[in-house]
Each structure stands twice: as C-alpha cells, then as structure tokens.
Chains A and B, each alone.
Chain A
C-alpha cells in the first residue's frame, strides 16, 4: 500500500501556543485513519494543514507526494473536505449547493449535475433536492456536507467530527456510508472525540493530546496493549474493596463513584469479588477504545 499522506515533524505554532508539536505519521491509500483526542489536542489543526488552508510552521507534509506548501491547488483538487461547522450555502437548495460547489473545482456543468444526482441518491437526499437548506434536518445537512465533499470524486476524504450532534439513527447512516466509501478505495481521514465512532470506522488511529501523538495503532491492538480484554466496574465500592483489589495486584483506577479494574479475566475477577463482597454492585464488560483514551489522557476536564 502506498502512503498518500506523510508528515514528518509537522509543527504548527500560534502566537503563544504550540497546537501541533513535531508529529510524524503516514496514512495509507484506502484506509480510514483517525485523529482522536480531547478538545484542543491539535486534531483539527493537523487536518487543516493537510487541506492546505493552514500554513505549516515547520516540518514536512506531503499529500500524494506533493508538498502542501507548494502545490496547494493540485492537492485541494484531489481532496474532499467535510468541515466540523456546517458551511452550506443557505441561499441555495440542496441540489444547487452541490452544483455551485462543483463549479469551484472547474467541473463541467453536465458532469456536475450527473454526479450531484448520484451523490444525492447515495446519501438518500434525492427527495430533498429542491428544499432550501434551512428546511432540512441536522442529519441531512451532515449528509449533504459529505456529499458535497465527494463532488470532485476525491482520492482523499477529510471529515472533521462527522457525526457530532447527531442522533443515533443519523449517525449510523453516516457510518454505513463511510464504510461504503472505503470499499471504493477512498482514503478517509477522520477526527473525532467519539470513541465508538473511531472503533466503528478507523483501521488505524492516533490519540493526540496537547499537540503530541500519544499512541498509534489499530483500535483492537491499542485496547489490548493499553487496557486488556475486559473491564470490571464496581459502583460505590466499599474502602475494603479497594484494599482487596490492590492486594491482588489488578490494575485499577478510582474515578467518581466507581472503581475500574482492567483485567483479561473479568469473569474470574467478578467471581472473586462477589465471594468476598456479596453486596458489591459489579458490572463486567469488554474494554473499549474509550478506556484507552481515558487511561492515556486522564479523566480531568481539558478545558
């Protein structure tokens, strides 16, 4: 697999803040690559540099072998961008939004119409094609933003928080569509702070904090490496429970009203706990990316 996006010591400094601090990564053709991290971690800044809309402070960044500081128009013609903030044109209908956007790419009128029809069908928006933007729902707007990002038939699709603020139905529709795109060999770059989204979509991901990459890997491998298979949660634990857990040597963390125990044998751990503390309120579950994320970035608020 070819690397389509390569960053070496990529750095972005604003006046008094290093938003992206010498990060290196390589994104492969056809994969879905995620940037995860709390607010202010530098995810959006990183992808804005890939999009050629934010100049680098230092480092190297190449998209399909082209330098982002030099061949911006060519790079921008190859990528599609679905930004975090809806910036659809409120003065136009659904269809017209796509047609006008296609014109910015210099796409021929007939081709634009054909692609717009296909994309509206793909995103289940055909019925709404003549509806003004302010009359469609948030989920439809997001789908339209993604359709718009596909109007130039991009090699690389960049999605910044694609499902933030959507209800579960709308979110699942978008995930389905993105997985379909991956089958067509579109490279997808996504930022999110929804761990479930990352787990659903990403082949590989990085977790960022304060401009740095903390870890990189596949979701599965990161969970196994950083947390293990399973998690036991004890609600409102008795102080004796904590002492007991520590004496056994399980990896544990206390947060709020719960005690988290990270172990590959969570059934066994629950049995042992219940033997000793029959009254304890215990939940066992599989470990998720969220556990990895919280373990690495901490439970304190970031802002």
Chain B
C-alpha cells in the first residue's frame, strides 16, 4: 500500500485551491445543477407521473415522490463525475496545474486525493441543493432527509474516484464521450432512479444491482420516504468498497500516467 503512504493532509491544499476557484466562478457554476432537476421534476414527476401507478412497496407513493430522491442521487453522481473528468482533465492537461503542484512538497497522490475530495464536495453541494428543492416541493420527509447530504458526499467519493480512473486513461478530452455514454447514461436510466428495479428482467436487474448509483438512489429513497431497512447497510458497505477500490486504482493509474 505504498501509494497510500504518499497521501497526506496536504491534499487539503488542493481541495482549497479548487474551492477558491469555485468561489471566483460560482455564479456560472451554481444554476445548472439546480435547474436541471427542477425541470425533470416538473416534466417527469408532475407531468408524466400522472400516468404512473407504482407497484409494491410504493403503492401509496406518488411518482413525484418516487422520482425526487432519484434526482438527488443523479445530481450527486454528476457533481463528482463531471468535476473529476472534464474539470480534472483540463487542470491536468491544459492548465498544467498538477505539474505546478507536484513541484511543491505535494505528491501526485496528494493531488489526486485533493481532486477527488473536491469532486465529492461538488456532489455534496449539488445533492444538497436538489434535496432542498424536493423538500420545498414537499417530496421528502424528515428526519431521513437530513442524512441525504451525507450519502451525496459518499456517492461523490465513489464517483469522483471512478471518474479519476477514466481521466487517467483517456488520450484526450473528447474520449470522455465513452464513459459518459457507456457508463453514466445506462446508470442514469437503470439504477432504480426512474422506476423500481423489480420491473426489469432478471439479468438486467442483476447488472443494475452492480451499479453504484443503484445503491445511492436506493439509500436516498429509503431515507426520503422514511422506509429505511437493513438493505441500506448493505448498500452503504457496497459503496464504501467501490470507493476504496476505485480510489486505489485512480491513484495508481494517475501515477503511471503522470510520473515518467
């Protein structure tokens, strides 16, 4: 585990750098993660949702209530995934920010850790904003609601680490189309975000159960509908394992890419 020995608290200075940039440019950063879920909620939840009757155990739940925590989960996924793909690639490749950082006592492992922590922070910010929106529409209930930002942060660590793996591998910025079409879009659609997984054929459902977003959405839905059960614990552990494996992989691949 020698790679992890190179991670230090100095990683926070990378996080601080990104936070400072965020506060310089927040006016352009702030609206999109907030507007998109609102549009989805209006069109799908309140519009399309009129046509929908949900199966058990969601018989007494409106479609908007079902969909709302899924939207929080999606915004948490996008927060870290965009940040640690496009954002990180721009810093690494175009701005040479990483080169500048590793000329200081920071190690490449510190830099990658700081980047992923910042990605997770974006998930926390975006997830919390969307959570507040669904709360205002009366689509989530106390007290489970209050734990949703914590799940968003954890989701951010997982998706930030996974994103960083792609960033370490892609030859150029256009190549991010592949992880987005082949990984993010299927997850967006088939992670129990828009409909319960039980309606899927067996094998598709099994694949979907492997998606990290499935577990994020499921935990958030349980919390927001007040239906928390032991399965949430399984989801939590699954997400933690994915995060650790992806984090280690990201650091290893980034070292391979950047240190020569």
Q: Which residues of A contact B (CB under 8 A)?
A: 14, 51, 53-55, 72-74, 76-77, 81, 83, 85, 87-92, 96, 100-101, 103-106, 152
Contact = CB atoms under 8 A, between A and B. Distances in A.
Contacts of A55: 259
A160 to B, nearest CB: 11
B62 interface: no
A105 B104 contact: yes
A89 B104 contact: no
B13 A104 contact: yes
B25 interface: yes
Contact of A76 (B24, B99, B104): B104
Interface in B211-260: 259-260
Given A91-B21, A106-B10, A101 B104 contact: yes
Nearest to B18: A91
Contact of A90 (B95, B101, B107): B95
Contacts of B259: 53-55
Contact of A87 (B10, B21, B100, B260): B100
A245 to B, nearest CB: 49
A72 B107 CA distance: 9
B16 interface: yes
Interface of B: 10, 13-14, 16-17, 20-21, 24-25, 95-97, 99-107, 259-260
Contacts of B95: 87, 89-90
A89 B20 CA distance: 11
Given A53-B259, A76-B104, A81-B103, A96 B10 contact: no
17 contacts: A53-B99, A53-B102, A72-B107, A76-B103, A76-B104, A83-B96, A83-B99, A83-B100, A87-B95, A87-B99, A100-B16, A101-B100, A103-B13, A103-B17, A104-B10, A104-B14, A105-B104
Given A89-B97, A91-B25, A103-B13, A51 B103 contact: yes
A92 B24 contact: yes
A74 B8 CA distance: 14
A106 B21 contact: no
Contacts of A103: 13, 16-17
The 7 closest A-B pairs by CB, nearest first: A87-B96, A104-B104, A81-B103, A87-B100, A91-B21, A73-B105, A103-B13
A225 B173 CA distance: 52
Contacts of A14: 260
Contacts of A91: 21, 24-25
B105 A89 contact: no
Given A14-B260, A83-B99, A100 B104 contact: no
A101 B226 CA distance: 46
Nearest to B96: A87
A77 B103 CA distance: 9
A270 to B, nearest CB: 50
A92 to B, nearest CB: 7
A104 B106 contact: yes
B86 to A, nearest CB: 15
Nearest to B21: A91
Contacts of A106: 10, 13, 105
A152 B104 CA distance: 9
A87 B17 contact: no
Contacts of A89: 17, 21, 95, 97, 100
Contacts of A88: 100
Most B CB within 10 A of own CB, among A77, A85, A104: A104
Contacts of B260: 14, 54
Most A CB within 10 A of own CB, among B14, B17, B104, B107: B104
Nearest to A14: B260
B173 to A, nearest CB: 16
A103 B24 CA distance: 18
A73 B105 CA distance: 5
Nearest to B25: A91
A73 B5 CA distance: 12
Contacts of A76: 103-105
A103 to B, nearest CB: 5
